[in-house]
A and B are shown apart, each in its own frame.
Chain A
């Protein structure tokens, strides 16, 4: 049995863990790869990623900067050509029929790609016309989106004059003009202030609740936790783990992680002291340089034990941290590295 989702703000019925792979994949990749050829040799950005995202799902690619998320989203949106493997969006092969894919996707790129020569309304109207809507239809669609995204007052502003949050809203509105099957968002809240970010989250949840399939990349743990039905944790171009948030926590990272840093290097065997090692619930103890890291399901008393252990070896504690089970602890557990944003 899975625990009920305890994260805040989840409105839609969540997919239960154990549903298995989605039956009607909106996105599917098989051993998808991208290697960039540079003057310094081949640089693998994505090294064989397998994903399956169901229709109506809110899926997250979570990983630090440089993990290969943007390259993956680039391949799915046809602007990056894979060097290996295959990918399908809405059932269409991204390499064989990129135009067919482009018809069915909406993309919010990380950078502000609004047409800076056009007004807010024109950005929506022309995008609608690119997708074959007539003049009148395009104008109506633009009005509908302006109203929905609270941009009516900025209708005639040139796109350069928008604030960061407004620009992001317009980018999302523009990505939705042609009713895409899948909405791609690459780091949608990077660089936004906290309030704008929370507003954007509400907006994305609302879209998802209306049935919009969304794939989002983020390097913010809390963003993935707050929004996504399922997450794939990505680093160095590979999927480390994937599943619902609860599945991930139950699997690799149900542990609380306690890290203690001492004033000096930790001698071998410190962490193996019987007092610590005999405690129930401990799944792993790692020693590295001046720090010891304990993964445990029963964190009570562990910190005290570590302080005592240090004192007996003549070490005082400089710094201690306790992480509750989260994607961050999942990442720590999977990679042995602290999550770098």
Chain B
């Protein structure tokens, strides 16, 4: 009996080795390590995976995060002042305020917004379409909502870093006398507003990526990114819109306004800004609402 069983086992091993093309391949079942997944381990591994991908696409990531603010700052705070055209900008800011002062919080908010959405929405639309590669991650041993939260956090980290990259660029690139006047008194509030803004845009990115029809991707630029940026108090403080009252009221539906103004309040408070309670209310409330809606929509789309 034992011999027969042994022979059969040996035969099976030989077959597996031949079929799988390697000696002792039966070990893939018999000699497998015992897995002990925990929520934290799985979550950490998923974040590590994002890190690996970002590192691999370093050049692309770098271009995406650096080129936009660099070119902006170069043209608006170096080229235009040099050719004497700067006067028309910064008109709404208080007298003596350089355009770079207006631009620093504005561009940081712009980066939060575009990076947060790009980092989450684009990959997600790909994962949901074509081969539906999302199923791979959905089979990891965690609830689907944890996967959604992981995507929000990974996107938020990228948005946060994107916003930080703006700082040295604005501080360094400008014509003589055009330096931004930065005056931070509350570092904790700065960090909080950056974090809340990052989470808000990443949550919005999750919701958009889940609901968006991949064939309408170009709509993302035309209908969301462009209007949000142009009307997001990036290039002018909100207070300067008082001369166009209807617009000043209308832009309040744009979450980006609260990021620009929030950063303006902590980085360059002398420019004048929206009330802090409104900023915090929208950033925190918006994150909670979009995070909830995004996670719910995502879970519903993954599980059908």
A interface list, Cβ under 8 A from B: 11-13, 36, 74, 77-81, 98-99, 102-103, 105, 107, 109, 111-118, 122, 126, 128-133, 137, 140-141, 144-145, 147-150, 173, 176-179, 199, 202-203, 205-207, 209-212
Is chain B's binding surface mostly helix, strand, loop or mixed? helix
B interface list, Cβ under 8 A from A: 8, 11-12, 15-16, 18-22, 25-38, 41-42, 44-46, 48-49, 52-53, 56-57, 131-143, 302-304
B136 touches A79 (CB 8 A): no
25 A-B pairs with CB atoms under 8 Å apart are A13-B8, A74-B304, A79-B139, A79-B303, A107-B135, A109-B132, A113-B131, A113-B133, A113-B136, A115-B133, A128-B35, A129-B44, A130-B137, A132-B42, A133-B33, A141-B32, A147-B25, A148-B21, A148-B28, A149-B20, A176-B29, A177-B32, A177-B35, A206-B15, A209-B16
A103 touches B28 (CB 8 A): no
Given contacts A11-B15, A109-B135, A130-B46, contact A137 B33 (CB under 8 A): yes
B139 touches A107 (CB 8 A): yes
**Chain A residues near B52 (CB-CB < 8 A):** 118, 122, 126
A137 → chain B closest CB, angstroms: 5
A77 to B53, CA, bound (A): 27
**Chain B residues near A102 (CB-CB < 8 A):** 139-141
The one of A36, A99, A131 in contact with B143, judged by C-beta atoms closer than 8 angstroms, is A99
**Chain A residues near B48 (CB-CB < 8 A):** 126, 129
A212 to B16, CA, bound (A): 12
B27 touches A144 (CB 8 A): yes
A144 touches B49 (CB 8 A): no
B293 → chain A closest CB, angstroms: 20
The one of A77, A129, A140, A141 in contact with B45, judged by C-beta atoms closer than 8 angstroms, is A129
Residue of B at shortest CB range from A74? B304
**Chain B residues near A205 (CB-CB < 8 A):** 15, 19
A207 to B16, CA, bound (A): 7
B35 touches A148 (CB 8 A): no
A207 touches B131 (CB 8 A): no
The one of B16, B21, B29, B143 in contact with A98, judged by C-beta atoms closer than 8 angstroms, is B143
A194 to B190, CA, bound (A): 62
Given contacts A103-B141, A179-B29, contact A118 B37 (CB under 8 A): no
**Chain A residues near B32 (CB-CB < 8 A):** 141, 176-179
Residue of A at shortest CB range from B28? A148
The one of A99, A132, A150 in contact with B36, judged by C-beta atoms closer than 8 angstroms, is A132
Given contacts A126-B48, A130-B141, contact A148 B41 (CB under 8 A): no
Given contacts A148-B25, A179-B29, contact A131 B141 (CB under 8 A): yes
Residue of B at shortest CB range from A158? B56
B29 touches A130 (CB 8 A): no
A202 to B304, CA, bound (A): 33
A179 to B136, CA, bound (A): 16
B291 → chain A closest CB, angstroms: 21
A115 touches B136 (CB 8 A): yes
A206 touches B133 (CB 8 A): no
A214 to B132, CA, bound (A): 23
Given contacts A115-B133, A132-B37, A132-B41, contact A11 B19 (CB under 8 A): no
Residue of B at shortest CB range from A209? B12
